[in-house]
Amino acid sequence: MTPTTPKTKPILFLVIHKQPRDRILIKINGRGCESNVGRVGGQQLLNLGKGCHTFDNMVHELGHSLGLLHTMKTRSGGFHNWD
């Protein structure tokens, strides 16, 4: 018996509520990439302005809206030994 690698595709799950309490509104507007860090409650704006339309920038700002900080804001001060 040989192991097989399943061919998978990403699946996107959308949960639609008539009145969602919390949501992230993504706008493509003006300049700059910005989002609050962490849950603010209610509608939360994530802006992807001019120059922010790369996959990396989008994931970066979405990470902020989910509560992720930059490593220099952590107790380790951004020091990581990647080797």
Which residues belong to the active site?
A: 61
DSSP single-letter state for residue 74: S
| Residues 31, 16 contacting (CB under 8 angstroms) | no
Rounded distance between C-alpha atoms, residue 60 and residue 3, angstroms: 36
